[in-house]
Amino acid sequence: MIRLLFAAFLLTSCASSKIKSSVSDDAQKELANRLAQKYIIADGHVDLPYRLKVKNFQLEKQYVGIPVKSAEGDFDFERAKKGGLKAPFMSIYIPASYEPAGAQLLADSLITMVKWIADQNKTYYEVATTPADVIRIAGQGKIALPMGMENGSPIATLADVKGYRQKGISYITLTHSKDNKICDSSYDTTKTWKGLSPYGREVVKEMAKEGILIDVSHISDNSFYQVIEISPVPVIASHSSARKFTPGFERNMSDDMIKVMGKNNGVIMVNFGSTFVDGEVAKKRTENQKKLGEVLKAKGLTFRDDAAKAVIDEFMKANPNAFADVEQVADHVDHIVKLAGINHVGFGSDFDGVGDSLPTGLKDVADYPNLLYVLIKRGYSPADIEKICSGNIFRVWNAALDYAAKN
Ligand SMILES: [Zn+2]
């Protein structure tokens, strides 16, 4: 209702009908930019650390541009400022191939990297471990860097949960692309535990006790329902979208799961990647990739060969990849709001984590205002938008911290 009144206000505040739409459109764009600057935009998942690791980012060396101003990747300080992003959760991403010992080494090195970035750029960044931190840091014009660990594989023993909280981790995604010691993955067909393992149940309870948010992105449906059953606190999906638009893609959340998240008082942070947003686009991209593989094979090449680059470029020029667009990302927000309510949706872009698959209109962290503009156009009020930008994740995060303080 508030939303309708607000839309009516924007429309009636203009004179003639012709001018009405264009002025209104400009006013909505202006409002989108204003709200992006005014509100704290938090993002559940930004893969900067792993992108830098892959690029051989070395702490002891003077870096050029990264991560303050850079032409590379989807994230840097200047673009984040432009887009209003103030709290990107830095993903401490551990690929499934790492065994516990290697997983811990990698997790520690990525955490060290994030802290080092903040330390070397004190006027731009500060590590955050609570919503209060984020609010204080954003208030100083800086960007807060909370950290989320993507994959629980470094949790070799229950004591590691507390250890990672002390190192600054605010959420843990229970697994990644394979079943692990904790639970089954949506991408794995093995179904090792048919959900959570006995150890995984202990880990979930320990996370709640230590005030680490439980992230259900990447886990299998069975794991999800079992987590919801035993979690004493609301949970998050740090970077998942709605399965309705990508039928059969278990990595996204089904309608029932979205409703359950609402009842759990949790938050679903929408992934922007085109293959998460549009099932048809995902299919076309897979087909394209397959065709390209065949072309390379016929020439005796693999994707990794240096000589493959020219072939790949030529193929992609002749067979451009399909993309979703910013309106479709807003469809996911709408769908979650319809099923669970305005208090249960947020942004979890996966910037720096989904390669060249970002939708038209949402290509990097400067582009959040484009999404806010679409939401305003659809009748979302400023108060709604504040909830989506950070109000919802702050509520869930504070609930987890409150629970930990009492237990
Ligand atoms: Zn992920």
**How far does the centroid of ligand 1 lie from the alpha carbon of residue 147, in Å?**
14
Distance from Cα 252 to the centre of ligand 1, integer Å: 11
Which residues are paired to 236 by β-bridges? 215, 267
pLDDT digits (tens, 9 = 90+) for 290-346: 999 999 999 999 988 999 999 999 999 999 999 999 999 999 999 999 999 999 999
> How many Cβ atoms from other residues are within 10 Å of residue 230's Cβ?
14
Q: What confidence tens digit (pLDDT) does each residue in 218-275 have?
A: 999 999 999 999 999 999 999 999 999 999 999 999 999 999 999 999 999 999 999 9
Q: Which of 230, 152, 234, 161 is nearest to 185 (CA)?
A: 152
CATH class of 26-278+324-406: alpha beta
Category of 215 on φ-ψ map: left (φ > 0), alpha (ψ -120 to 50) or beta: beta
The structure's pTM equals: 0.92
Cβ atoms 370, 259 nearer than 8 A: no
- Name the percent of the chain in helix, strand, coil, to the closest 5: 50, 15, 35
Predicted local distance difference test score (pLDDT) of residue 160: 98
Q: How far is the CA of 15 from the centre of ligand 1 (A)?
A: 47
Which among 5, 36, 43, 33 is positioned nearest to 392, based on CA atoms? Answer: 43
Residue 58's pLDDT is 63
Confidence at residue 364, expressed as pLDDT on a 0 to 100 scale: 96
C-alpha of residue 45 to centroid of ligand 1, in Å: 8
Q: How far is the CA of 219 from the centre of ligand 1 (A)?
A: 10
- What is the predicted pLDDT for the residue at 96? 95
- The alpha carbon of 150 and the centre of ligand 1 are apart by a number of angstroms equal to 7
Whole-number Cα distances in Å, 101 to 69, 105, 110: 34, 6, 15
Domain limits, the chain: 26-278+324-406
Q: Residue 108's closest CA among 167, 152, 65?
A: 167
Averaged pLDDT for residues 10-25: 48
* CA–CA gap between residue 407 and residue 402 (Å, rounded): 9
* Alpha-helical regions (H) of 55-194: 77-83, 100-120, 131-139, 159-166
- 353 alpha carbon to ligand 1 midpoint, in Å? 7
Ligand 1 centroid, distance to 250 Cα (angstroms): 13
Q: Residue 143: enclosing H or E segment and its boundaries?
A: strand 143-145
